[in-house]
């Protein structure tokens, strides 16, 4: 895998990133690579990056035996070092070099979009598993699965040191395909800088992730999404996405396949038949029509399925295998359906305008409910626009609303809920304890009603004041309520 530092400095110079390197470090061969001072050890190559980086972190790494460091400035610590113009891009270059470019040894499909990344990633993995069991890794919002091992994920797209170590682990585990989500933050922070994607999927883009810790403006957010396409060979694009012309401009020089309901698309969707048990639909591809049946519900999921189906066609997977891969599929925390005594319960990760709108529309289309009970909150330190959108959508589509905790971070749960409640005139309760809020909604529901539990999906933690605090999960909260009320 790793070579000598002389090889890395040559690479950094080629990329226009190298400022200087300490004399005599060309022959050094580090034993490990890290950006976390707590993980530094004898012979480590330590990278100084992050908005809140402090000199003390480097000093701690040096005390633990770090061999050298890389940074944008000389911290005055007695340790050989490399200085660069952009530490984030340099960290990606260095991580790829240290782990032996493992991404190049696999077929990597990247998926971006405001809504649907995780669902589409799991759909494509399910198709690939049907074609070639045990050969596909997945890096998603829900988990990092490298073929034989699975970890809970805390970032949609991991930082370079972790990402490249996961690529390496996947290769070593015998995987030759990776399906991964690529977030706008990953592009902004150069987490996948230098990586090539044989296929890139662009699902959609809408107003979200705009605020102090995310993107300064909508233009920046959209630009970061589109910048991903420059790293792809073939791009699969939703014809109905917002900012379509800008997206297409970002595809210049690429092979582009469009999917959607318009007959001019490369992958045409028609004859959608929704039901409480799933969906049937047809996709037109290269002059032929193919019928598909799936356990997933909702028009938006048919669109996610079609994006994955096109990717599978590009990979040369036959229609029968694709049909097998999508027929019975479960996406953790995405449109999970449960039922108790005539009450339908939907657990979904929806946490922004587009995802909420899709869930509400799918519920109305699939169940024609008597009443809709909506349980949700909003993450702390996020855009106020998201809270407004959630409130306005609940006002339009829900009959009863229960506002509660959803990763409040350093903010007060009640304050967040009050912001949302400003946009709601329907019956609305603020219940900070999430399991209690779920119980209240289920207690109030009658046969023929639908209860939507949105925001957490299958997550088993709440992000509170810098900590990931264990949480029972929405699904288990429902199961507990059913047991107590049976």
What are the binding residues for ATP?
Answer: 113-119
Contact criterion met (CB below 8 Å) for 93 and 194 = yes
Any residues with CB less than 8 A from the CB of 426 and at least 6 apart, and which? 394, 395, 398, 399, 400, 401
Report DSSP letters for 228-290, one per residue.
Answer: GGGGEEEEEEETT-TTHHHHHHTTTTSEEEEEESSTTSSEEEEEEEEETTEEEEEEEETTEEE
Q: Report the DSSP beta bridge partners of residue 284.
A: 268, 289
Number of C-alpha atoms within 13 angstroms, CB side, residue 4?
Answer: 7
**Rounded-to-integer distance, Cα 415 and Cα 422, Å:** 11
Contact criterion met (CB below 8 Å) for 259 and 282 = no
Can you list the pairs that 225-230 forms with residues at least 24 positions away whose Cβ atoms lie under 8 Å? 225/112, 225/113, 225/114, 225/184, 225/187, 226/202, 226/250, 227/187, 228/110, 228/112, 228/182, 228/187, 228/192, 228/200, 228/202, 229/200, 229/202, 229/254
Q: Report the DSSP beta bridge partners of residue 107.
A: 177
The structure tokens listed for 465 are: 């004041």
Instruction: Please give the annotated binding residues, written as ranges.
Output: 37, 113-119, 156-157, 183, 191
**Rounded-to-integer distance, Cα 123 and Cα 82, Å:** 42
Rg of the chain over Cα atoms, rounded to whole angstroms, equals 24
Contact criterion met (CB below 8 Å) for 292 and 268 = no
Contact criterion met (CB below 8 Å) for 392 and 365 = no
């Amino acid at each position: 895998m790793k070579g000598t530092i002389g090889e890395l400095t040559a690479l950094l110079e080629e990329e226009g990133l190298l400022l200087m390197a300490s004399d005599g470090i060309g022959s050094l061969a580090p034993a490990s690579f890290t950006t976390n001072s707590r993980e530094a050890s004898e012979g480590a190559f330590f990278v100084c990056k992050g908005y809140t980086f402090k000199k003390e972190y480097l000093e701690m790494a040096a005390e633990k035996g770090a061999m050298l460091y890389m940074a944008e400035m000389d911290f005055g610590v007695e340790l050989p070092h490399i200085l660069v113009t952009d530490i984030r891009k340099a960290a990606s270059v260095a991580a790829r070099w240290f782990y032996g470019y493992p991404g190049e040894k696999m077929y990597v499909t990247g998926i971006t979009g405001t809504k649907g990344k995780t669902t589409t990633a799991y759909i494509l993995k399910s198709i690939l598993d049907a074609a070639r069991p045990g050969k596909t890794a997945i890096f998603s919002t829900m988990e990092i699965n490298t073929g034989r091992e699975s970890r809970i994920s805390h970032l949609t797209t991991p930082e370079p040191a972790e990402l490249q170590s996961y690529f390496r682990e996947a290769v070593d585990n015998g995987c030759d395909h990776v399906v991964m989500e690529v977030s706008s933050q990953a592009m902004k922070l150069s987490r996948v800088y230098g990586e090539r994607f044989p296929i890139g999927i662009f699902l959609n883009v809408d107003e979200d992730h705009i605020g102090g810790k995310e993107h300064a403006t909508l233009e920046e957010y959209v630009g970061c999404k589109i910048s991903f396409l420059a790293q792809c060979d073939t791009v699969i694009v939703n014809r109905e996405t917002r900012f379509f012309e800008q997206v297409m401009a970002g595809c210049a020089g690429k092979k582009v396949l469009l999917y959607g309901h318009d007959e001019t698309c490369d992958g045409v969707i028609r004859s959608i038949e929704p039901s409480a048990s799933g969906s049937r639909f047809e996709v037109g591809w290269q002059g032929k029509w193919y019928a598909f049946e799936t356990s997933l519900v909702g028009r938006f999921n048919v669109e996610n399925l079609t994006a994955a189906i096109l990717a599978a066609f590009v990979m040369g997977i036959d229609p029968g295998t694709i049909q097998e891969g999508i027929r019975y599929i479960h996406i953790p925390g995405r449109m999970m359906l449960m039922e108790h005594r005539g009450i339908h319960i939907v657990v979904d990760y929806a946490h922004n305008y587009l995802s909420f709108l899709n869930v509400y529309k799918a519920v109305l289309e699939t169940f024609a409910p008597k009443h809709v009970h909506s349980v949700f909150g909003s993450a702390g330190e996020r855009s106020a626009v998201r809270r407004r959108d959630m409130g306005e959508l609940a006002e339009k589509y829900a009959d009863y609303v229960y506002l509660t905790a959803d990763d409040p971070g350093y903010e007060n749960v009640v304050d967040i809920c009050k912001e949302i409640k400003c946009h709601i005139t329907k019956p609305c309760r603020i219940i900070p304890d999430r399991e209690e809020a779920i119980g209240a909604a289920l207690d109030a529901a009658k046969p023929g009603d639908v209860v939507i539990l949105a925001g957490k999906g299958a997550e088993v933690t709440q992000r509170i004041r810098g900590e990931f605090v264990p949480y029972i999960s929405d699904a288990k909260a429902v199961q507990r309520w059913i047991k107590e009320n049976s």
